[in-house]
Amino acid sequence: MTEKLVPPHRPLILVVDDQRANRELLEAQLDELGYEVRQAVDGIEALEAVAEREPDLVLLDIDMPRLDGISVCRRLKAHPVRRLIPVVLLTASSDREVRLHGLEAGADDFLNKPFDARELLIRTKVLLKDRTLNARLDATEGVLFALARAVEARDRYTIHHAERVGRYAEAIGAAHGLDDEDTTLLYEGGVLHDLGKIAIPDAVLLKPGPLTEDEFAVMRTHSVEGERICLSLRSVTYFLPIIRHHHERMDGGGYPDHLAGKDIPLGARIAAIADAWDAMVSDRPYRAGLPREEALRRMRANAGKQWDPHLVQLFLALLDRGLMEKVAGSQLAASA
């Protein structure tokens, strides 16, 4: 037999139903299809089973004691990792409201009781294929974030810089009124903003002194290089404006595209403030970090020239309320 590069994987399906006959019927049908099956008798047991070993698919009855299926689905879909597990809600009801509640909770599909064997086969195959694709996509994003951390690790002076930029950007976005989805994007975009520096030679990136004009030209390519690295990945499309444009200026004097004013994407305008602040107050090989009051003076003086003045005001108000200390505290807690 030909040796496989990818080892065979037998998908694990969790069947959750308080009726034993239903569980056993589903297990018998799925076992015939070559799947591994685990059972849970209610919502609480289902969550415990998922925590113990993550399944590739959950077939979840709606009406159960202790914790109903919609509540279980909602908890799984709110989890940063387990949200990628496909969930099929099992129901004997044709009630429109029940289905709407299921969709609202994040269900990927529905399966009507009594079960049709062919329908079960088709729906299971489709969702398991989606699960595989999502897992690969998630792994690809993980590699990008690992690369971003690797950029920091090259230079002890910038360690944790990207994390702080992400946290500052996230806070500015929230103060600007953006929702959780957008503030999460700002955090992740902040972490990735300097990804392109992985393409910058050590002689330039780690130089213990000011850069020459030619060296600075090389350094400025990092924003375009970062975008190039991510360009083919649809999952990070929304990060691209932050990665490419976080060095643009409101007066048009930035790079790489000399955008000005509101032509600079909002995420990039926010990340630019977060990035510049952390760069000013942090030590570098060729200079010590600026005192807080001097950094504040420069931030105010360049509002409207380098940075969006409205966003600068939001950021300064956040600093007054202890944002810098909160971010530093969260980093200490994470590294403890």
Q: 293 burial class (0-12, 13-18, 19+ CB within 10 angstroms)?
A: exposed
Question: Global pTM?
Answer: 0.64
Measure the CA–CA gap between 6 and 61, rounded to whole angstroms.
33
> Is-contact 113 23, C-beta < 8 A?
no
Q: Label residue 213 by pLDDT band (50, 70, 90).
A: very high
Residue 95 CB-half CA count within 13 A: 9
Per-residue pLDDT tens for 189-201? 998 899 888 888 9
| Structural tokens at position 136 | 């690969």
- Helix, strand, or coil (residue 321): coil
Identify the DSSP state of 8.
P
* Domains of the chain as residue ranges with CATH: 12-135 (3.40.50.2300), 154-335 (1.10.3210.10)
Per-residue pLDDT tens for 37-51? 899 999 999 999 999
Per-residue pLDDT tens for 86-126? 888 888 777 788 778 888 888 888 887 777 777 777 778 77
